[in-house]
Amino acid sequence: MKKLSAVLLTAFLLTNGISAFAAPTASPDVSPTPTVEATASPEVSPFPESTPSPTALPTATPSPHELSKQFVLTIDVIPQKHIIPKNADVELYSDDGELLAKGHRYVGWDTPYVTMTFDVPEYRMGEKFKIKLVSGLRSLKNKETGIYVEEGGELEVTTYGYINENGEYTQCNGAVLDGNPHYDKDIRVYAGSKWLTDLTPHARIVEGTAMIPVRAIGEAMGLDVRYNAENDSVACAVGTDEVVFYANNIYTTIFGEGINAPHETVYMEGALFVPMRTLAEAFDSLVEVADYGSYMDILIGESPIIQEYRNRTPVNRDGISSRTDYLVWVSKHEYKVRVYEGAQHRWNLLKEFPCALGAWNTPTITGQFEYIERTQWNYDGYYVGPVLRFHNGYALHSTLLYYGGGEYDGRVGVNISHGCVRLHPQDINWIANTIPFKTRIYITE
C-alpha cells in the first residue's frame, strides 16, 4: 500500500510540473488527492493562443488586488494656443450619488496633465463612479465612451481589472479623461493684405467684443500711436486726425467728438487693448470677420483717410516700389534723407535726417537705384563709413571722420561732396543697420 501511494504521489507531482524530488508538504503516509477544479485553466483565455495563460484567479474568495481604497483621476489637458490659466475643480460621487471627495488643480499654458488621488470607502474593481466638472475647464471627455460634459455636467466612469501580457493582474482604480482648458480663440489679424503673424500680445474676444493691442494694430494700419501718461490714454493719429482711447473707460474721442465705445479700453499683458471696430471704422476701414469655430480671421481693410494722407508724400503718390520692405528717399531741395517701411503706395515714414549733397560742379545724381554694397573708403587723414553704395561711385555715407574718432568735416545742409550723400555718423549707422541690400534709393530734385 505504501509503495502504491508513492507511485501515485510521484505521478501527481510530475503531472503538475513539480519535481518528484521536492520536499514533501504532507506526511508520506497520506496520499494527496488532487482536485481538477483547483488546477484547471479558465475556459476562455484572455491572451492570444501563442501566449501561455497564467493560473486563473480564485473565484471562491476575492483577491485583495481587486479591492481599493483610492480613486485616481488623471486629466490629459488638450493643447490650445492661448490657454487662460485657471484652477480645475471636480467632485467625485458614488454611483448612487453620494459625494465622496473634491479635487482642485491648477491648469496653465504649459500643463500637460493633472492627477488627483482621492481616498474613498473600500470598493471592488468594476465599481462605477461619477465625476462632476465644477469649474476651471471648458469640458471633460471620457476617452473610452467619447461622451463629454461642460461645466456643471457629470461623467460616469467604471473601474476595472485585467491580466496583462506578463500574466500579472492589473487594476485600474480610477479614470483617465481629456480636459479642454479655457482659452482665447486664436484670432488672426490682417491689416490691409498683411497678416500680422508676430502680433504680441494676441488679439482676443472680451465679453463679446474683439479687442486688439492698440499700438501693434495702429502702427500696422499706418497710424502714429502716442501714449499720454498724464491721463493714461493712447492716441492713434494720421496728420491732425486722431482717435483717443482712455484706459479703463469706454469714453473715446474720434476727431474731437466724444463717443462711448462698445467696451472699455483695458490693460492686458502690459498692453492697452481697444475695441477693434472702433479704431478701424473711425478711419473708414472696412472690417470683415470670418469665424471658423476654433479660430477667427479679422481683416482690417485699407483706410481711405490714411491713404489720402499718404498720397501727400511723393513716394506714395508716385507709386515708388522697392524689392525690400524699406525705401530711402533723398529730397535734394530739402537736404533730407527719409527712410520708409511698408510697400508700394503704403510707405510709412520711420526716420528723417539732414544731409549734405554733391557740389555744384559734381552734383548728386537723381533717379531710382538700389543699395548694392556696404564698405568703407579711406583717405589721408580721414575716412568715410559705413558707405552704402547704390550706383557706380555714388553712395550714402558718413561725414568725413578722423581715424581716432570725431568728425573731420561734419557739415550737412550744403553742397560739398563729389556727388555722394553725407550724413552724420549716428544717422548713417542707423540706416546701415536697418535697410537690407536691394532697398530702393529714390533721389529727387
How many Å apart are CA 400 and CA 411, to the nearest integer?
9
Q: Block means of pLDDT (10 residues each) for the chain, length 445 residues?
A: 38 39 38 37 33 37 71 95 92 96 94 96 94 96 93 95 84 94 90 84 90 92 91 92 95 96 94 95 94 90 90 90 97 97 86 97 97 97 97 97 94 96 98 98 97
Size of the chain in residues:
445
Q: Give the per-residue pLDDT at 54.
A: 38
As beta bridge partners, residue 246 has: 233
Q: Quick one: pLDDT at residue 252?
A: 97
Domain boundaries, the chain: 2-39, 64-181, 186-307, 314-444
pLDDT of residue 20: 36
CATH level 2 (architecture), domain 186-307: 2-Layer Sandwich (3.30)
Which of 355, 358, 319, 351 is closest to 442 using CA atoms? Answer: 319
| pTM attached to this predicted model | 0.53
* pLDDT at site 269: 87
Half-sphere exposure of 66 (CA within 13 A, CB side): 12
What's the Rg (C-alpha) of the chain? 40
Residues 6 or more apart whose Cβ sits within 8 Å of residue 116: 72, 73, 74, 75, 90, 103, 104, 105
Is CATH 3.40.50.970 the right assignment for the domain spanning 314-444?
Answer: no
The Cα 101–Cα 421 span in angstroms is 78
pLDDT of 359 reads 97
CA atoms of 144 and 195, how far apart (whole Å): 40
Cell digits for 409? 568735416
Residue showing cell 471658423 = 292
Look at residue 311 in the predicted model and tell me its pLDDT: 86
Q: May I ask the CATH architecture of the domain 64-181?
A: Sandwich (2.60)
Are 232 and 240 in contact by the 8 Å Cβ rule? The answer is no
